[in-house]
Structure 1
Amino acid sequence: MNLSLFDDLAAPVPEGPRPLRPLPVKPGPRLSGAAAQSWQLELAAPDALPPGLATPASPPPAQAILPPALPAPEDTHPAQRAPEDLHPALWRADQLGGGLHVVTASGFAPLDAVLPGGGWPHRVLTELLLPHPGLGELRLLAPALAAVSRSFSSPGAAGSHCVMLFDPPAGLYGSALAQLGLDARHWLVVRGRVPHGRPAAAAARQGPLRQLLPNADVLWALEQALKSGHVGAVLAWLPAPLKADAVRRLQLAAQAHDGPAFVFREIEARHRPSAAPLRLLLQSAGADALQLQVLKRRGPPLLQGLQLALPPVLGGSAQERAQMRQAALAQVQVRRAAFAQALDHRDDDPQAQALTAALAGGAGR
C-alpha cells in the first residue's frame, strides 16, 4: 500500500484562499504594422502618449441635484383670513358684503351706511318696491344718476354711455330734472307695445304679437341693454306680476353691466322670492320725505327703517298746497280711527252713539 496518500491527507491545510491555477492561453495571431502600433499606444501610460493622442480627462464627480424650493407657508390659516381675500363674493354673516365691488354713492349718508359697499352696487340688480309710482323714486336716485352722467361725460371716459329708462309710467318733465342736476339729453326712453294702463285683453286683439307676455319686448330690450355693457345706468318699471325666472335672467345679464341697474316693482312682490341681491321698500313720508326699509342685502338684516329728506322740486305755493293736503289726510285718518272706536262701544254708551253720529256727519263732508 502506498502510504504517501495518507501523508498528504494528514498534512496541515494552509490558511486563506488557495491560489488559482492560471488557465492555459492559446497563442493568438501576431500583429504587425499599424495594428501593432495602435495596440502598444493603448497599453501605454497616459503621460507617455503624444499630445494629440491624449485621453480625455475624467468627468467631474456627480453633484446632488436638489428640488426647487417650495414657497413659504402662509402665516395665517385660511379660516383666519378675511372672506373677501379668498373670493370677492364672500362675506361674513355679521358684516356687510361687497367691499371689493364698485359702487356709486347714493348722495344720502344714512342710506350709504346701510348699503353694501357704501352705495348703489354695480353689476347687480337693485329692486325698489313701490305702492304706486311717483313717490319720489327719481329724486332718490337723482344724485347717483347725476354722478353716472358726470363720470361718462368727463374727458377720457367712454362717451357712448347714457341713462336708459324702460317703460316709465309717465312722461319726463325736463325742468324738474334740470332742477335736480340731471341732463335729460343723455337719457333714452324705451316704450313697450303695451303702454301702462291699457288692459292686456284689449291689446291682445291688435295682432298675434300681442299674445306674448305683457311687455315681453321691454324685458328683452332690457336684458340686451344690460348684456351690452354700453349703458351708464338703467331704470326699468317691470310689469306685474313677473315670474321669478325673468328676474333671474335680468340678474345674470346685470353682471356684465358696469353701472347701477334699478327695477321698480309692485309692493306685493315683497312676499315673493327674487334673485336681486338688493331689495328696498319705499313708502311716502310726506311731500318731500321718503320712508325706506331694506328687505334684502348682502349682510345682516336691517330691522329699523330709514327716513330720508328728498330735495324739493315744487315751488312755494305748490309746497303749501301739498302740506295742507297732507294735513287734511292726517285729520281724516284720525277721524276714521275715532269713528271705528266709537262703533265698537255705541251699544253700551249713549255718548258714544252721539259721537258716532257727529263723526259720521264729519266724515261725509
Structure 2
Amino acid sequence: MGAALSLLDFELTARLQQQLWQGEQFSTSHPNVISSGYRLLDRVLPGAGWLPGTVTEVLIEESGVGEIRLLARSLRELTTTQSRSVVFVAPPWMPNFAAFRAMHIATDKLVWVRAADEQVLWAAEQSLKQEGIGAVLVWLPKARPEALRRLQVAAQESQSLAFLFRPLNAAKQSSAAPLRMVCKPILPPAAQTMNRREWIQAVMLEIDIIKRRGPLLGKPLQLRLPLQLPALPEHLRRASQQRKAREVNHVVDSGDIAAIIARSSQAAIDAIRIGEFDFAWSEADGQ
C-alpha cells in the first residue's frame, strides 16, 4: 500500500474541521458557540462555550440542585436574542412559567415533551431534527452506550445544543458525549451561622469536567447560582421570609444539601398553580 495519507494534507470543510480533535488540542473559540454566561466556565469549555452539535452530559445527585440555573443564561440567549426554541424532554418536574420568566427566558419558545421511559430517546432525536431548535434538554436516567451514540449523532446532524441529565453513578459508565460534567452543590463557608434561606442563596455549584476534548481539568470549578426568589408570588415570599428569618438548619453532607435545595425548588413550583401555565407540550407516543 502507498504511504498513509494525513487528513491534514487536504483542504477540509469548516464543518469537518470542527468535528476533528487531535490529542491534547484545546479549542479556545468557535464561531457558533453559545456562551454559558459564566466567564470562569467558558474558559474551560472547548470552544469557550457550549458547542452546537455536541451532547453535554450533566451528572447530578438529585434533580433541582442548580442544573437549570446553570443553563439559564444560555437558554435566555437562545430564546430571546436568537428566537429559537428549547425543548424539555421528560423532565422529572413540571416546568414553571414564573421561574423561567424570572430568568428572562422567552416562555413562548419553550416546549415540554412528556414521554415514557422507552420513548425518551426517540422523542429527543425527533426534537433535534426540527427546524428552529436551539437546544434540547433530555432526562434519561438509564441509557445504554448505543443510545448515547444515537443521541450524539442526532445532535451533530442538527447542530443544536443537547444536554443530557443523568445520575452521578453514570460517571463510571462509558459515554459518547464529548463533554461530561459532574455537578454537586456545596455550602458556603459560613453556612452554619445562616438560616436556610440565606445559605440557599449562597450555595455554590461545584463542576468537575471529567471528559472534554482537551487536557484534563486541573480542579473543579465553583460557581454561585442563587435561586430566583421572584419565582415565588410576592405574598408567599414575604410570609416565608418572616417565618424563616431566624431558622438555622444544619446539614450533614452533600446529599442533604442536594435534597434541601431540590425541595426548595419544588416548593417554588408548587406555589404556582397550573392556571397560568402556558407552555406548549406534546405527548411523545412513538407514532
**Of residues 177, 200, 204 in structure 1, which corresponds to 2:100?**
177
**Correspondence for 1:140:** 70
CA displacement, residues 64-93 of structure 1 (integer Å, 9 cap, x when unaligned): xxxxxxxxxxxxxx69xxxx9993334453
Whether 1:223 and 2:125 are equivalent positions in the alignment is yes
C-alpha separation in 1, matches of 2:96 and 2:35: 24
Length, aligned pairs only: 223
Question: Residues 54 and 161 of structure 2 are in contact (CA less than 8 Å); yes or no, is this contact kept in structure 1?
Answer: yes
C-alpha separation in 2, matches of 1:91 and 1:113: 18
**Of residues 247, 250, 260 in structure 2, which corresponds to 1:328?**
250
Bigger strand fraction: 2
CA displacement, residues 231-263 of structure 1 (integer Å, 9 cap, x when unaligned): 1211111132x1000000000000122331111
**Correspondence for 2:177:** 276
Structure 1: which 5+ residue stretches go unaligned? Answer: 1-77, 154-160, 194-214, 334-365
CA displacement, residues 335-364 of structure 1 (integer Å, 9 cap, x when unaligned): xxxxxxxxxxxxxxxxxxxxxxxxxxxxxx
C-alpha separation in 1, matches of 2:17 and 2:108: 40
**Correspondence for 2:27:** 97
User: Normalization by structure 2: what TM-score?
Assistant: 0.69
CA displacement, residues 292-328 of structure 1 (integer Å, 9 cap, x when unaligned): 1001101000130011011331357559959955x51
**Correspondence for 1:313:** 228
Compute the RMSD of aligned alpha carbons. Answer: 3.1
C-alpha separation in 1, matches of 2:20 and 2:159: 20
Flag the 1:236–1:323 CA change in 2: closer, same or farther, 3 A: farther
**Of residues 287, 301, 305 in structure 1, which corresponds to 2:216?**
301
Question: Residues 179 and 211 of structure 2 are in contact (CA less than 8 Å); yes or no, is this contact kept in structure 1?
Answer: yes
SS in 1 for 2:129: helix
Whether 1:263 and 2:186 are equivalent positions in the alignment is no
Flag the 1:323–1:96 CA change in 2: closer, same or farther, 3 A: farther
Question: Residues 236 and 263 of structure 1 are in contact (CA less than 8 Å); yes or no, is this contact kept in structure 2?
Answer: yes
Question: Residues 282 and 290 of structure 1 are in contact (CA less than 8 Å); yes or no, is this contact kept in structure 2?
Answer: yes
**One-letter amino acid of the structure 2 residue matched with residue 162 of structure 1:** S
User: Normalization by structure 1: what TM-score?
Assistant: 0.55
Question: Following TM superposition, by how much is the alpha carbon of 1:162 offset from its aligned partner in structure 2, in angstroms?
Answer: 1.2
Structure 2: which 5+ residue stretches go unaligned? Answer: 1-7, 188-199, 230-236, 256-287
Question: Residues 237 and 264 of structure 1 are in contact (CA less than 8 Å); yes or no, is this contact kept in structure 2?
Answer: yes
| Higher Cα radius of gyration | 1
C-alpha separation in 1, matches of 2:242 and 2:135: 30
Question: Following TM superposition, by how much is the alpha carbon of 1:101 offset from its aligned partner in structure 2, in angstroms?
Answer: 5.5
C-alpha separation in 1, matches of 2:144 and 2:246: 39
C-alpha separation in 1, matches of 2:78 and 2:56: 16
Identity of aligned residues (%): 38
SS in 1 for 2:210: strand
C-alpha separation in 2, matches of 1:150 and 1:128: 24
C-alpha separation in 2, matches of 1:152 and 1:85: 21
